[in-house]
Amino acid sequence: MSGGFAQVAVDGAGGQDRTFTYRIPPEMEIAPGHLVWVPFGSRTVQGIVFGLVDVPQVEEIRDVEQVAYEQPLLSRRQINVATWMSGYYRVGLFMAAVQMLPPGFASRLRTWVSLDEERATNSSTDDLNTRDERALRMVKDAGELRRPALARRLGRGGGAVVDRLIRKKLLITRTEWEHQRQKPRYARVLSLAVESEEVEKVADELDAAPGTRGLERASLLRRVIDAPGIETQADLAREFGRSRVDWAKKAGLLRVHEIQVDRNPLREHQFQTTMPLDPTAAQAGAIGAITSALRTTRKESGPPRKFLLYGVTGSGKTEVYLRAAEKCLELGRTVLILVPEIALTPQTLARFASRFPGKVALLHSGLQPGERFDQWWRISNGDFPIVLG
């Protein structure tokens, strides 16, 4: 919504299990689950919108400063889970909620301070102590300093000195946001700028031309005809030469556009699709009990049932997990598989990825940050119904 008021769990609220109310500027569209920047004391901090209200319960209200991402990062269900976690584990609302945010979500807010020359010249020095004057000299000599750097140079209690000078308006602050540490990766690919028949006609003419230059150009065009929008401009330039790629673009035959590259941790793995095995009597009993419970709605049976699957190594427990996951997918549900340690992940991953090709996401601390970022977003978008980690 635009306008109204947001209830925000803020970072740096001393672990508080409460939200703070902020006014939503008319030009902003904000919903529960949005990651935002808000003023908190003398700082600007990140916060997560937990709810919206039409009428605030307090009189003095400050505005939301900025929305970090266009879309909400948390669903209503996740907000409810974070609220429960905060109460059960006695942690702040923000700390509970950030466990569900994408890797590298945090943006840094950099604050710079500079001297208000006019105020510093005209103000009385009676209210300034030695450290105040030293701080002002440092800023004047530097022209502009990052706020934390100035506080460190002043020594112990330097932050309080800087805050005091800002309140006296002797120092002017300027803030800027750094980009997120992780972001989507894009690649520039080549595709056809005109109909394929027209490009094929040009390729035929190049084949008939004398010399070898036309043959190389024709080969480039036919490569893109066969796989438009697949190969990157850089790869084709390495194979056919930058000049030939530039020629095709200038001739209006090929065009460049960007596509998002999925940093998939499974890209180098090859899994052969497998079919379900005939279960043993013991497996069939376990599968029947679990799938029967999955078919029963919570309204009919109350809280979900819990099952402890007992069996020695190699007794066939994984097949029971696979059948239970299969039933979940049939019912339109999603599956979370937790492995006790990373060392056991490859064998479990191989079983699930082979049974459910293209449906399994992987999340664990051993992934590269970019891989975790892309996996998180694809899970959030519903691309993977099974998550293993």
35-40/66-67 β-pairing:
antiparallel
- Tokens coding 361: 């996401």
Q: Which are the contacts of 235, defined by CB distance < 8 A and separation ≥ 6? A: none
Q: What is the pLDDT of residue 378?
A: 86
Residue 93 has pLDDT above 80, yes or no: yes
Cα–Cα distance list, 28 to 11, 25, 45, 182 (Å) = 21, 6, 18, 24
Identify the architecture of domain 281-388 in CATH. 3-Layer(aba) Sandwich (3.40)
Distance CA 372, CA 265 (A): 8
pLDDT band at residue 181 under the 50/70/90 scheme: low
pLDDT tens digits, 100-142? 887 766 656 677 888 887 777 766 666 788 888 888 888 888 8
The secondary structure of 164-193 as a DSSP string is HHHHTTSEEEEEEEPPPSS--EEEEEEEES
The secondary structure of 266-317 as a DSSP string is TTT-------PPPPPHHHHHHHHHHHHHHHS-HHHHSSPP-------TTSSH
Residue 179 has pLDDT above 60, yes or no: no
Higher pLDDT, 271 or 60: 60
Distance CA 269, CA 354 (A): 11
pLDDT tens digits, 261-270? 667 777 666 6
Of 103, 73, 98, nearest to 182 by C-alpha is 103
pLDDT band at residue 177 under the 50/70/90 scheme: low
Q: What is the pLDDT of residue 160?
A: 86
- Tokens coding 364: 């664990």
Q: What is the pLDDT of residue 105?
A: 67
CB of 385 closer than 8 Å to CB of 329? yes
Mean pLDDT of 29-34: 94
Residue 88 one-letter amino acid: Y
Fold of 5-98: GIY-YIG endonuclease (3.40.1440)
CB of 62 closer than 8 Å to CB of 10? no
